[in-house]
Amino acid sequence: MIGYCKGMNRVSLLRTVIGLRAPALKEYVLTITSRYKHRDSQHCIANQKTEGETHKYPLIPIIARLTPPVLRGKEIARIIPLLETQVLHRELNGKSHPVSSKVFTGSASIAESNPPAREKTFNSLRVQVGLLYVVLTLANLVFFSAIILENQMDVLNDNVILVAERAAHQVQARLHSIASAERGESAELAAVAEHFAFTEYSVRNAKGEELKPDGTVGPANLPNFQTDLAELEARSGVIAEPYHVRVDSKGFQVAFLFPMSGKRYLTATSTLDSIKNRIRSIYWQLGLALAWGIAFHVVFGIYLLRRIFKRLSLLRETSIQLAGGDLTTRTSWLRKTGDELDTLGDTFDTMASKIESTVGQLSTANRRLRIELEIGRQVQNFFLRGHELVKEYSPALVYRPLSEVSGDIYNFFQINDRFKGVFLADATGHGVSAALVTSVIFFHLNQLLKEERSPLKIMHALSRQIKNDLNELFFATAFLLLLDSKGDIFYVNAGHNAPMVFRRSSGKLIELETTGMMLGLDLGDPRPYDMKRVPVRSGDRILLFTDGLVESADSQGEMFGNDRVIEILRASADKPGTEVVKELEAAVIGFAKSMTDDLTIMILDIP
């Protein structure tokens, strides 16, 4: 319950405070509190060895230091080895206290609380870089192929024009010699067509009609004849060749128009096979260049994959294994080049080794802490006895610490043959620090019971001792109840949750309200506490509890409260006290989102 000392090294505090007698208690509590007040618990555990170890299990001296003299001697000598044996046996068999396993569970708990999510395939760096590499490679190859093909096609087009002009010039020269040839015109034209590999040729008049060798006239079926003729006539009077050449750059075909005598015109078409063969050669060379470029980039990509991404993938897998709790995992590739990735792998392995070493040390410290806290729990349970002193009141009890040890403490004692007493205290906070405060209270209470019989004097002296020893750093609520065998009860309530007297015969409920301030507070009042008397009769039921019952809250922040306690108390009036305390415990645990404080419930039935 003491949030003030949250960062305190609890093991060191146990070793220092519990092993001391009362006169030196105040000095050491203040020293250790100031030393660890602003440190976190991890740093405190790391420096635990510097505190000095004077006992194998530092909690065991609590028995010899704080127990009443009647419990010392042979009984303590018998109990200490028994406790050590039991705790070590539970530790070796993995049966330590269920709450203690939460102190530290190693790196495996980190992986369980935050497991690495499986990444989508596209989120992989290898896939992203690979896709980018493929896209850039294809864009690069397509770009340069287009540039090369465009340049080659321009060159081919220029070559086609030159070849066509040269062929036209030669044809024109042959046509001039046709008139003087011994053979007829038709034979000469056929020889020219064969020599220059004309695919088609014909003689046309100015209208585009075909003039056949037999003297007949065919149709004008050439679509571009008039256009070509107009361009040829436009060239007349200009220094130019007396013919017209039209080049089809897509099919690499050439159309010729030559003037002849008698306003006749020779039309011919030719396919430049050499140019086509050259184009095929260019395509083959371009395909080989693309294949070489693809092969080169594939080989380079494989090199990148093996040299970079394979090691990155191994480093990723190793990191996931380390996060999953395998502290022995290391990177597995062979360091050949000593490049940045090799350095990164060495750095990772060094880090993993340090993590493994640190976790091992923390695990060892945690095991020791669990053993010590388990011993502390058993020791505290050893103190909380004495039910047989009030067996005629049919005591029923639930004692549920939030952790291994509790900030709640109770005690049964006998004043004389007429009066018996019940004491219940709740230190502010919970866990080890609160347990230390209750141990101090228990010690002083037992000392005072040897000298005093008055509840007022006992409570006043106890508060003064707590204030002096702990210098108002720690407080506790307390309730002291005297049971009179003649039928009355007397009580002093030091800021504690009001216990209840339930008259089962009439259904009436009496709350035993506060009669003074908490233990450890001193406001200068010479009479800080009052004692009150309440008459009781046979069948009345007394309920005592700590704030862990009524102040536990649900997920909306609503507290369990007194009303629910009273409702259960009334509904269970005919049940024995042992069943009622279990019903109250089950009800508050089912109601609360999570238990955040120690829980103690006690029922006494007036005989």
The residue-averaged pLDDT of 413-432 equals: 87
Q: Counting every residue, how long is the chain?
A: 607
pLDDT at 343 over 50: yes
pLDDT the model gives residue 121: 58
Q: At what angle do helices 25-36 and 455-470 cross, to 10 degrees?
A: 50
pLDDT the model gives residue 120: 54
Q: Evaluate if pTM is beyond 0.75.
A: no
Burial 500-512 (b: 16+ CB within 10 A, else e): bbbbbeeeeebeb
Who has greater pLDDT, 160 or 1? 160
Contact call for residues 518 and 472 (beta carbons, < 8 A): no
- Beta strand pairing status for 541-545 and 264-271? unpaired
pLDDT the model gives residue 509: 93
pLDDT tens per residue, range 222-242: 888 888 888 888 876 555 568
Contact call for residues 375 and 83 (beta carbons, < 8 A): yes
For 42-56, 345-359, 367-381, which range has the lowest pLDDT when averaged over its residues?
A: 42-56
CA distance 244 to 255: 8
pLDDT at 477 over 60: yes
pLDDT at 100 over 70: no
DSSP track, 300-313: HHHHHIIIIIHHHH
User: What are residue 520's phi and psi, to 5 degrees?
Assistant: 100, -10
- Beta strand pairing status for 599-605 and 541-545? antiparallel
Query: How does residue 28 score in pLDDT terms, banded at 50, 70 and 90?
Result: very low
pLDDT at 379 over 50: yes
The residue-averaged pLDDT of 391-405 equals: 89
pLDDT at 151 over 60: yes
The residue-averaged pLDDT of 86-92 equals: 47
Number of Cβ within 10 Å of residue 25's Cβ equals: 22
The residue-averaged pLDDT of 275-297 equals: 81
Which stretches within 259-339 are classed as H helix?
273-304, 310-323
Bridge partners for 247 per DSSP:
254
Contact call for residues 407 and 427 (beta carbons, < 8 A): yes
For 15-19, 363-367, 528-532, which range has the lowest pLDDT when averaged over its residues?
A: 15-19
Closest CA to 520 of 383, 428, 423: 428
pLDDT at 591 over 80: yes
* Half-sphere exposure in the Cβ direction for 365 (13 Å, CA): 22
CA distance 384 to 399: 10
pLDDT the model gives residue 538: 92
Bridge partners for 605 per DSSP:
541
Average pLDDT, the chain: 76
pLDDT at 444 over 50: yes
pLDDT the model gives residue 407: 86
% residues pLDDT > 90 (the chain): 22
pLDDT tens per residue, range 70-80: 344 444 444 44
pLDDT the model gives residue 398: 93
The residue-averaged pLDDT of 392-405 equals: 89
CA distance 595 to 99: 12
Residue type, 236: S
pLDDT the model gives residue 179: 55
pLDDT the model gives residue 249: 67
- Beta strand pairing status for 508-511 and 476-484? unpaired
Number of Cβ within 10 Å of residue 406's Cβ equals: 30
The residue-averaged pLDDT of 359-365 equals: 88
Q: Which residues contact 310 (CB under 8 A, 6 or more apart)?
A: 333
pLDDT the model gives residue 600: 94
The residue-averaged pLDDT of 335-344 equals: 84
CA distance 579 to 571: 12
Closest CA to 387 of 89, 602, 95: 602
pLDDT the model gives residue 128: 76
Closest CA to 499 of 536, 444, 472: 536
Contact call for residues 423 and 444 (beta carbons, < 8 A): no
Contact call for residues 395 and 604 (beta carbons, < 8 A): yes
Query: How does residue 594 score in pLDDT terms, banded at 50, 70 and 90?
Result: confident
Contact call for residues 492 and 456 (beta carbons, < 8 A): yes
pLDDT the model gives residue 480: 95
Query: How does residue 569 score in pLDDT terms, banded at 50, 70 and 90?
Result: very high
Query: Could you tell me the end-to-end alpha-carbon distance of the chain, in angstroms, rounded to an integer?
Result: 35
Who has greater pLDDT, 481 or 208? 481
Q: Which two tokens stand for residue 342?
A: 């090799």
The residue-averaged pLDDT of 29-33 equals: 41
pLDDT the model gives residue 515: 93
Q: Which two tokens stand for residue 508?
A: 């009436």
The residue-averaged pLDDT of 275-295 equals: 81
The residue-averaged pLDDT of 316-345 equals: 86
Q: Which two tokens stand for residue 98?
A: 């269920």
pLDDT at 506 over 80: yes
Number of H helices, E strands in the chain: 17, 14
Query: How does residue 565 score in pLDDT terms, banded at 50, 70 and 90?
Result: very high
From the CA atom positions of the chain, what is the Rg in Å? 53
Question: Which residues in 165-263 belong to E strands, given as ranges?
Answer: 198-204, 244-248, 253-260
Report, in this order, helix, strand and coil percent for the chain, each rounded to 5.
Answer: 50, 15, 30
With vertex at residue 441, the alpha carbon angle to CA 438 and CA 445, rounded to the nearest 5 degrees, is 140
- Beta strand pairing status for 253-260 and 244-248? antiparallel
pLDDT the model gives residue 498: 95
Closest CA to 499 of 453, 461, 463, 549: 549
Q: Which residues contact 82 (CB under 8 A, 6 or more apart)?
A: none
The residue-averaged pLDDT of 459-488 equals: 87
Would you give the DSSP letter of residue 475? -
Question: Residue 534 belongs to what H/E stretch?
Answer: strand 532-535
Q: Which residues contact 370 (CB under 8 A, 6 or more apart)?
A: 91, 96, 97, 100, 101, 103, 404
CA distance 383 to 22: 18
CA distance 321 to 314: 11
Query: How does residue 336 score in pLDDT terms, banded at 50, 70 and 90?
Result: confident
% residues pLDDT > 70 (the chain): 76
